[in-house]
Structure 1
Amino acid sequence: MTRFGILRNPGRRRRSVVLIALLATVGGVVSVAPATADAPPAGQVYSDVADGFAGTSGLGVERTTGGEGGETVTVTDYESLVRYATAPEPYVIRVGGEITVTPYGTEIRVASDKTIVGVGLVGHIVNGGFFLGDGVHNVIIRNLTIRDTLMEEDDPDDKDFDYDGIQLDNAHHVWIDHNTITRMNDGLIDSRKDTTYLTVSWNVLAENNKSFGIGWTDNVTSRITIHHNWIRDTNQRNPSADNIAYAHLYNNYLQNVRSTGNHSRGATKMVLENSYFDNVKDPYYLDAAAELRESGNIVVNSTGKRDSGGSAFNPSDFYSYTLDSAADIPALLGTEAGPQADIGQ
């Protein structure tokens, strides 16, 4: 059985297994060469194929493949990361260590056709994040820890410094997968304006005021899949989903949420399936003009709204997916969400 983000049946799709020989390090860029391995490493095999709406066609893009077909580079310093992330050519950019962003709070402007992936557990982006602007498309951000732009004393309500983990403005075909994003000043993820064909999967979003905001537009065109994310110790926007044509949320784990859970806002059509809510205020609810169809969810230790209404849409009309049991979600995401040692190797 295949769970999206994790390849359970290696007969269907195998990851290429290589041993990396370091040949040279010049200016923070590591050249690498593959060597054969006698046997695959133990542990899980993670699919490198985008699923959900990021895996579907539209706006001239067949599916999200990131920097596939471009050169692979490994970066270990900020200048090299910026150089390749902003380049016009496709690149697979492996982040091979902890990179501190300067100036503090800067969002690196990622260009189209890029994969930015942490090497195992060592890829950290500290004191900054990423920005995908108007028309940027076909981007994968994966297996990174993005952290620490908080301005607690100067900006306790996150109103003066917009230091997001990942901000997307009118981008499309983006896959955000297996990251930990934490302690940022403003949003951990802000999917703004008409960003669409977006999948956010297997991430840990934690220890923040604003978790995941979607909207800032009067148009109702966005298509977004949000699955297998562990959202914990946050306050608002978990997510706040405004004016989304198709919002599919499934198998997420919300834990210790102080203000609002899954909010279907504006004219959003939301399908919410098999998620687990523990100690969440207002686990799920909708505005008067919105729709929210829910099934299979578990709510414990929580208070407030659990409202639904409308037929929304059928996600299976757009792509195939497999639901995990809601009861299994806390344990599953406790080990499988966030960066993984086997990804990016």
Structure 2
Amino acid sequence: MALRMSLVTSLTLLSAHAHAAGVSGTAFGFASGTTGGSDATPATPSDISQLSEWLTDSTPRVILIDKEFNYLGSAGQNAIDLDSSDWCGDYPSTSCDYDKEALNGIAVGSNKSIVGVGSAGVIRGKGLRLANGVKNVIIQNVHITELNPQYIWGGDAITLDGTDQIWIDHVKVSLVGRQMFVSGYEASGKVTISNSEFDGRTSWSASCDDHHYWTVLGYGKDDQVTFAGNYIHHTSGRSPKLEFNSYWHAYNNYWHNNTGHAFDVVKETKALIEGNVFSEVNTPSETDSSPGETFAVTSSDKSTCDSILGRACAVNSLESSGELSASDESVLSSWPSGESDITVLDASKVRASVLANAGVGKLGGSSGASNAVTASAPT
């Protein structure tokens, strides 16, 4: 009996410690130094009203998401015509019911850590919007889902528009009407998106093939984005689309089953693509009439990347996929400083590492920092 009581007590204390721990690991890449709510006492909101209040106020907070917070009220995608534009052309109009809550994300304030507990943290029917000077925010281990998935313009999961020092880690996004992640038009500053799952499986598809088209859109100006260790699957486009004057470093990500294009890099954007796995991706990189500057590491130009960056670059892996060829050396020669604590894993180990670490409920398998994307493949 004594042994059993001791074991129960230990498990209880361990559970309480895990619940109150807050953020796991530290930010790396361009978002290094992001602390979110820092040493604020972790607390759990009781309902959606309190969650919205805590997210939007000016108090530094560590907010624990320990259950589903449901904001829901009431074969191709229809589109919600928000501004009476004519982009739908001569397509017929139809009446429909949709949730207005999803159209505008919760306006998150500065100095927040939003952390899911275990795999229980779900925000349903409402996205998160960080804008107008918001800084120092961590979003970790939360599943955002069901934002009018049947309607284009039905809602964005995570929006940045005029921010700095943002770390998005171990997040899952599924079943949204529009973008899973979007930045712009104002500068989003230094951002890291890591160990996250962008799940494009849907019954409402702009490409009419059960794959989500509107996935990741980088429209911010002067952004510096680290995109690492993510799992992007069952999409058909914009995975990501990058435009305007920004830097994106995409490494050790796993793209799987994309029936359209992954990268679409246009206008002045500089993209460094290395150590990724593209599996069953029809077009790993779109050819645009006004292309940006891209360096995608291949075996033939790896030595060039090594020499200019002064470290070992990693070759991308293509499996049952289209071509990925881009070797604009200006990307490397102008690469900004400040992307710290990164180690790029060889592509042969990426699939296993990503599947083991990306998404919600997997914080125990990695620290959420650089070692999350450099972990050895599990035996």
TM range (shorter): 0.7 to 0.9
Preserved CA contact (<8 Å) 1:76 1:96 = no
- Aligned residue runs from structure 1 range 167-316, under 5 A: 167-193=159-185, 194-207=187-200, 208-215=212-219, 219=221, 221-285=222-286, 287=288, 288-295=290-297, 296-303=315-322, 306-313=325-332
From 66, 90, 93, the counterpart of 2:63: 93
Residue in 2 that maps onto 1:324 = 345
Is 1:51 the counterpart of 2:60? The answer is no
> How much does 1:340 deviate?
2.4
CA distance in 1, matches of 2:149, 2:355: 28
> How much does 1:18 deviate?
5.1
* Structure 2 residue identity aligned to 1:141: I
CA distance in 2, matches of 1:178, 1:33: 18
CA distance in 1, matches of 2:113, 2:349: 30
Structure 1 residue runs without a partner (length 5+): 1-16, 23-31, 35-45, 56-62
Residue in 2 that maps onto 1:333 = 354
* Structure 1 residue identity aligned to 2:29: G
Preserved CA contact (<8 Å) 1:211 1:238 = yes
**Distance verdict in 2 for CA 1:262–1:20, change over 3 Å:** same
Residue in 1 that maps onto 2:205 = none
Q: Equivalent residue of 1:313, what SS?
A: helix
> How much does 1:107 deviate?
1.3
Q: Which has the higher helix share?
A: 2
* Structure 1 residue identity aligned to 2:322: T
**Distance verdict in 2 for CA 1:289–1:261, change over 3 Å:** closer
Residue in 2 that maps onto 1:41 = none
> How much does 1:102 deviate?
4.6
Q: Equivalent residue of 2:31, what SS?
A: helix
Whichever of the two has the greater Rg, that structure is 2
> How much does 1:341 deviate?
4.9
CA distance in 1, matches of 2:268, 2:328: 12
**Distance verdict in 2 for CA 1:123–1:266, change over 3 Å:** same
The CA RMSD measured in Å over matched residues stands at 2.4
Residues 310-333 of structure 1: per-residue CA shift (max 9 Å, x gap): 330366843241111112211211
> How much does 1:150 deviate?
3.0
CA distance in 2, matches of 1:213, 1:240: 5
Greater shift after overlay, 314-323 or 117-126? 314-323
* Structure 2 residue identity aligned to 1:229: N
**Distance verdict in 2 for CA 1:243–1:148, change over 3 Å:** same
CA distance in 2, matches of 1:251, 1:33: 30
- TM-score (structure 1 length as normaliser): 0.78
Residues 280-334 of structure 1: per-residue CA shift (max 9 Å, x gap): 1220256545211122001111135644433303668432411111122112111
Residue in 1 that maps onto 2:93 = none
Residue in 2 that maps onto 1:143 = 141
Preserved CA contact (<8 Å) 1:283 1:306 = no
Q: Equivalent residue of 1:259, what SS?
A: strand
CA distance in 1, matches of 2:213, 2:291: 26
Is 1:134 the counterpart of 2:154? The answer is no
Preserved CA contact (<8 Å) 2:20 2:42 = no
- TM-score (structure 2 length as normaliser): 0.72
> How much does 1:244 deviate?
3.8
Q: Equivalent residue of 1:54, what SS?
A: coil
* Structure 2 residue identity aligned to 1:333: V
Preserved CA contact (<8 Å) 2:265 2:291 = no
Give the total of aligned pairs: 292
Greater shift after overlay, 299-308 or 319-328? 299-308
